[in-house]
Amino acid sequence: MTSLIDPYSRTIDYLRLAVTDRCNLRCLYCMPEEGLQLLRHEDILSYEEILRLLKICIQAGISKVRLTGGEPLVRKDLDYLISQISKLQPSLDISLTTNGLLLSKQAESLAAAGLKRVNISIDSLDPDTYRRITRTGNLSQVLSGLEAAIAAGLEPVKINVVVLKHVNEELEAFVELARRLPVHVRFIEYMSPCGIFDESFYVSAEEIKQGLAEFGRLEVAEPPLGAGPARYFKLAGAKGLIGFISPISSHFCPNCNRLRLTADGKMKTCLFSPDEDDIREILRSGSEDGYVLETIKRSLERKPRDYGKGSSPGRTMSQIGG
């Protein structure tokens, strides 16, 4: 097995893979209310192309794969793809990020196929606020999906909460969720990789942490599987953990171990960089696996140590894959 190493001696072992650009929500920090121009079916990587690329990446040292979107659960037969990924390497850490709307009907089959764990985006536990943020979402459906994920044995189940000033600063409800259920609630600083950063929304992780003080003392916790850049804490008596992800106030780029592949097959070594390599074209051109791997390695040669203030023109978070 080879290793993927970038110019700053970071070992790259984590691939975030967008399986679709489609989403059944229109979250106000992610995409316009009217939606976006969608990719054509033929522009999206087929499952066969995804599996070929993953086989190459696994042989090069990728040990963690996260499926993203858009909303990955809108893509047909996702459990089949997961089962085939699992066969490539049974020890592979396969995870999923979802808004949870379709999870109640799919959690059991996804777990049976080989999915290990899941992150569910829930930015509010108030139905009206949740609908305001997502523009179309039904909170009760998402909470049903959360319960289904726990019942299916996906572990850990993480809740991603993007905190927006004057919109969803409702810490108590999420604390109670972590007390009641074995879920890890992660408060995430608002950011935008697309050059449209509305400072009026921004709340720092430190402000959130201070706001949590009234609910009890936060003690440093051992990070769970797949902790990534999050810092975790525990509250006395809580079944779950509280986490903080701080891409703005304390960015974690120096320790980045990620590659990203968009739904249309563009390889990105940095969320904030405009650099992309067209892996789809290489896969479809009849190139050998060795050439695909060399292309990935050349991409890594341009991976920055820290993100700049640049962006990916024309790419929203849903198009990049998060």
Give which of 138, 64, 132, 52 is closest to 103, Cα–Cα. Answer: 138
SS (H, E, C) 243-260: EEECCCCCCCHHHCCEEE
Give which of 11, 44, 3 is closest to 279, Cα–Cα. Answer: 44
**Phi/psi at 223 (5° precision):** -65, 140
Q: pLDDT of 120-133, one tens digit each?
A: 999 999 999 999 99
Buried b vs exposed e over 174-196: b needs ≥16 C-beta within 10 Å? bbebbbebebbbbbbbbbbbbee
Low-confidence stretches of the chain (pLDDT < 50) are 195, 309-314
* Longest Cα–Cα distance in the chain: 60
Neighbour-count burial of 39, counting CB atoms closer than 10 A to its CB (0-12 exposed, 13-18 middle, 19+ buried): middle
What is the three-class DSSP state of 159?
Answer: strand
Question: What per-residue confidence (pLDDT) applies to 164?
Answer: 86
Question: What per-residue confidence (pLDDT) applies to 310?
Answer: 47
Please spell the DSSP secondary structure of 258-311, one letter per residue: EEEE-TTSEEES-TT----EEHHHHHHTT--HHHHHHHHHHHHTT--SS--S--
Question: What per-residue confidence (pLDDT) applies to 194?
Answer: 54
**Phi/psi at 168 (5° precision):** -140, 45
With contact defined as beta carbons under 8 Å apart, do 191 and 246 qualify? Answer: no
Question: What per-residue confidence (pLDDT) applies to 38?
Answer: 86
| Domain covering 14-160+253-320, topology | TIM Barrel (3.20.20)
Buried b vs exposed e over 262-301: b needs ≥16 C-beta within 10 Å? bbbbbbbbbbbbeebbebbebbeeeeeeeebbebbeebbe
pTM: 0.93
State the Cα–Cα distance between residues 229 and 223, nearest whole angstrom.
Answer: 10
Residue 142 CB partners (closer than 8 Å, separation 6+): 99, 100, 101, 103, 120, 122, 130
